Structure 1
């Protein structure tokens, strides 16, 4: 009897203990939220840094290597280690070598994590068609919330290929407005109204003045920059590219028929390269233009009087003046258009060979939201490379050894510090440009290169062979342009244009 009672007592105690244990466990794992609902502890909380395994990433982008970049990169990596337990090996590659370097790396399936891509360099559509990048829709939703918040929703359509996103726009001036820039001391010296120098013909009159009176000054910055001189005047000539700057195929911005044509066979292209050759013969373009792939060193040294701007934007005068240490002014040379090509003119993509795509997205999310990290990559270290002049404004230290001048490569430029001469109004005006400019007739269309990938590869080789010589005026167009067009035709340019037209027509049915 005693034995049975003893067993019964033990059983009751065990049951009670179990119930108490469960009650304590429930109490520990749940908590009352402010609105009275119960929520499991840890639910919806971000991962803590200590839960992330340390990884190293590599990031390739075009830019002139800076003498004190290693010091800057080390400071950035201290912050990345603290925030997401990550180190990034930054690899700025000089402008003339970046295209070829990425072709080799991607072609050989070399491991890397992030790279710069665009419509005009390290071609975005072509790389996607060759499966060089991964689709990032899911990664954006899970790790890129700040990116999604910072970029207008309507812009994402320009990045989609077959309905998926493969690149993150570095949000900046997203409309395209062609323009010119001028060294202000020379403008003042010759009492020129630079705002009137808004066409190639008017600019030429000024170039004649510089050539005749300033023998130590190079009249223009025109040189062999990836065939970008023609590309910088596309909107001025009324074109929007369909598949990439140096791939045959454009539509006219004012043509509601949506007809795709070969820009290299157009009267506009012939007119442009003929003018460049005339300028070369007159000495307005440097003799060694074909050998110079990056004019920034000469601009920084004050040796160049003027040039074609990549894209006119509010605050351009202050930005350029701060970057190069003396005053510059800019002028619009075209109307402003919102283009698919201008939205994808600067992107960062995650490589198919990346072993840590989630962490790569975390890094890019920080570059689009963390002002300290982003501005350090843009401007360097406070007190060494720049000084604060206000809560959100800086001035570059004279003779700074870190001035990449490529904010538009690294992330959301609206997080950048304001430079002397810039104000919050600069950002407001830029936003207004983005939201209110005229839209291209093919805004939102993204060309799928797969059906004509072989022809694109062949035509790209032909363009690479001819464009730099024609673009810098160093050859006679009447002799070289027919050869160029003949080779393009044999390489399959018409098949590319026909495929573009087919896809544009199909896209129009969905509008």
Structure 2
């Protein structure tokens, strides 16, 4: 009996010791680390939060600020999203859309007024750097990302995180989808073959193509563009000025650039170069030969729709857009033979930095942890990614395997072009099944030889020169656009007037500020 008592006492002591050791984190059972791990986005509404994890016991509503038009079927798609989010992280979302027509005015006002929202789409072209400097976005630490966005933390390359930093600190979860920024042109192959022209693969062969159509086809404008949108450059400038000469323009609001391989990063006015002089002669020749409408600078039509209607034979855009257009035309109008043409195939290709698209958390958000969990799901949860990117399967899109899709019967009511879902572009993105093979091969080739250069991640802060930037932009619209579209008879005088007006508008002040920032960036 005494032995039994001693045994029971010893057993009790052992149990106490085991309990103490387990509480200290030494356990090895299936739930041993539960208290130390962050809340998993896959958890269904937990009744209690584990120590060190976000408390998801109370349902949360996260407010999103997005750029673009509200999709017709938003309520249906995001209703389904909210059902999934309720299961996965006990939260729902509400979205405010800033329409394309006035988003540049409204977006900064939302931050200035400290309006109530949690997450905003942002990008290097959509106020990211500007709002960071104004305190509009929350700084994201490594610890926050590891705990509340673990899948994104693992999936994104280190370079992508580094590119998104401003002054050494991070304020964005960038998209995880390498883009190449070079542009291409869409051409009507049936018309090229009709006139027995060489394949379009250079500025010279493209000019021959445009001139032949101008001379031989009535009712078809060879080249189409939409400068009426306020675009300050000829639509071919990125190809024929930047790509052809291996330059990079810092900001399309003013004409300052540098040579990709110049280690000093010396900035120059691209309008005041021999290359630009030659280019406007090229444009003038095309204009005189009827390569585009004399009313092109006031065009408000959808250029792509005019191409599908047979009214235009070519236009310039990024590779993804042109390839998608080619695939759609081949599917919907097989009698029209079209192709993707790279006019600078032997030139260096530039990859977009990761801040081309991304999501940031509002500095005054009361729910930053839940916000990061949502972003993690949007990028990495296949079910949620497919839903938010493409809509309802069977209605807005038809899945083709794991990585392709066909448009569904209600595709127009929820599609990729409507609003900024690109903020969570990721490796889970699908490709339209009609996307042409040559577009895929061209992208793969470009990605394999993307050129990296010292100023690749440099972002200009225009805070000190905003007035000058606005004034210069107005000069570009008034003087550069007519000159480049061949509406000015005396090219030499037109170029001189342009340069003179730019200087009067303050381009020298912008250049000095820009050079100072570049020098400081390179010195680091």
* TM-score of the two chains, using structure 2 as the length reference: 0.75
Pairing 1:42–2:35 present: yes
Q: Secondary structure at the match of 2:433?
A: coil
Aligned residue in 2 for 1:388: 399
Q: In structure 2, how many angstroms separate the alpha carbons of the residues matched to 1:488 and 1:505?
A: 23
In the TM superposition, 1:83-162 aligns within 5 A as 83-84=88-89, 85-89=91-95, 91=97, 93-94=99-100, 96-106=101-111, 108-119=113-124, 121-138=125-142, 139-162=144-167
Query: Per-residue deviation at 1:161?
Result: 1.6
Could you tell me whether the CA contact under 8 Å between 1:273 and 1:470 is conserved in 2?
no
Q: In structure 1, how many angstroms separate the alpha carbons of the residues matched to 2:359 and 2:165?
A: 14
Q: Which runs of 5+ in 2 are unaligned?
A: 1-11, 46-54
Q: In structure 2, how many angstroms separate the alpha carbons of the residues matched to 1:155 and 1:256?
A: 22
**Pair 161,32 (structure 1): closer, same or farther in 2 beyond 3 Å:** closer
Aligned residue in 1 for 2:416: 404
CA deviations over 1:302-349 (Å, ceiling 9, x no partner): 644221122x36x96367514884564212233564657554333333
Pairing 1:333–2:343 present: yes
Greater alpha carbon shift after TM alignment, 73-82 vs 470-479: 470-479
Query: Per-residue deviation at 1:181?
Result: 1.9
Greater alpha carbon shift after TM alignment, 398-407 vs 373-382: 398-407
CA deviations over 1:45-71 (Å, ceiling 9, x no partner): 525453433213123224x65544443
Paired residues, what number? 483
Aligned residue in 2 for 1:10: none
Aligned residue in 2 for 1:13: none
Q: 2:225 aligns with which of 215, 222, 242?
A: 222
Pairing 1:437–2:437 present: no
Q: In structure 1, how many angstroms separate the alpha carbons of the residues matched to 2:308 and 2:398?
A: 20
Pairing 1:358–2:369 present: yes
Pairing 1:167–2:180 present: no
Could you tell me whether the CA contact under 8 Å between 1:162 and 1:448 is conserved in 2?
no
Q: In structure 2, how many angstroms separate the alpha carbons of the residues matched to 1:73 and 1:149?
A: 27
Alignment RMSD: 4.3
Pairing 1:210–2:213 present: yes
Q: In structure 2, how many angstroms separate the alpha carbons of the residues matched to 1:380 and 1:124?
A: 27
**Pair 488,187 (structure 1): closer, same or farther in 2 beyond 3 Å:** same
Query: Per-residue deviation at 1:164?
Result: 1.5
Q: Secondary structure at the match of 1:387?
A: strand
**Pair 423,135 (structure 1): closer, same or farther in 2 beyond 3 Å:** farther
Query: Per-residue deviation at 1:293?
Result: 7.9
Aligned residue in 2 for 1:470: 480
Q: In structure 2, how many angstroms separate the alpha carbons of the residues matched to 1:414 and 1:425?
A: 21
Q: In structure 1, how many angstroms separate the alpha carbons of the residues matched to 2:470 and 2:109?
A: 15
Pairing 1:251–2:263 present: no
Pairing 1:59–2:65 present: yes
Q: Secondary structure at the match of 2:243?
A: coil
Query: Per-residue deviation at 1:136?
Result: 2.8
Pairing 1:371–2:382 present: yes
Could you tell me whether the CA contact under 8 Å between 1:371 and 1:416 is conserved in 2?
no
Pairing 1:489–2:503 present: yes
Query: Per-residue deviation at 1:253?
Result: 1.7
Q: Secondary structure at the match of 2:415?
A: coil
Q: In structure 1, how many angstroms separate the alpha carbons of the residues matched to 2:83 and 2:287?
A: 49
Query: Per-residue deviation at 1:163?
Result: 0.7
**Pair 359,161 (structure 1): closer, same or farther in 2 beyond 3 Å:** same
Query: Per-residue deviation at 1:375?
Result: 2.7
In the TM superposition, 1:269-288 aligns within 5 A as 269-272=276-279, 275-276=282-283, 279=286, 282-286=289-293, 287-288=295-296
